[in-house]
Amino acid sequence: MIYAIGDIHGQKAMLDHALALITADGGADAHIVFLGDYTDRGPDSRAVIDTLIKGVDAGRNWTLIKGNHDQMFANYIRHGIEHDPRVKSGISWINPRLGGTNTLASYGLIPDSPATYSYTDDGREHLAQVSIDGTVLTSPQFHARARQAVPATHLDFLDALPTTYQTRDLIFVHAGMRAGVALADQDTQDLIWIREGFLETGYDFGKLVVHGHTALDAPQSYANRVNLDGGAGYGRPLVPAVFDGRTCWLLTQNGRIALAPADATG
């Protein structure tokens, strides 16, 4: 048996509940794979990362992989990068739509009012200024405050995460895989960002792909993949799963519920 938890997105209370469900089903030593996106949108990214670090340091049987939001968070803090080329809208990571504002608030940088932005000719959004504790900060000043607020241990932890994990029957990845490409040859950015070219394919990857990244109303199973992103970043429940081979169940307060594949692949 192996357990999996999809995109957490700063939802510490939901994470605690999911871990309790897994412990009740498989015991304290259950092997859990976390599918990335520990940060952004939810209210307490800092506490989520603290929980994960403490669990790993305590020797829990946990495997963690990296999500695109974890990469964006670390890129902003380390380098001041507000954008990723795969965000087609061009909005800043700090924009509440991507959730960076909530992540930084969990580290104590709570805006007094909504931030203001400027825009380049190509439509990319940049933080212009934001007020923190009555002081108006320019973008470089805000970034300097963010670097001071976020512990280096959190960034080191996120930077070191792998992008995949596999067992005899399963491939765990944050976003998905490109059809026809061996796992060892996959583009690491595809592994944390891909949608088009993966979600619509019925390609047999040789193993069942277990992923998150694309938020649904609830986890869903398909012939070649299982999507465990049930939308916790938008306030929907964080529902853990358990696998025996390629067979999947969701864990609920009332026990296991079989997750049968849908008829369609997309």
CATH architecture group of domain 2-67+161-258: 4-Layer Sandwich (3.60)
CB atoms within 10 A of CB 170: 20
Q: Give the Cα separation of 201 and 225 in Å (integer).
A: 10
Alpha helices in the chain (DSSP H): 12-26, 45-57, 68-79, 100-106, 139-149, 152-159, 188-193
What's the pLDDT tens digit per position in 63-113? 999 999 999 999 999 999 999 999 999 999 999 999 999 999 999 999 999
The answer to whether 97 touches 91, Cβ cutoff 8 Å, is yes
Check residue 165 and give its pLDDT.
98
Numbered ranges of CATH 3.60.21.10 in the chain: 2-67+161-258
Tens of pLDDT, residue by residue over 106-143, are: 999 999 999 999 999 888 999 999 999 999 999 999 99
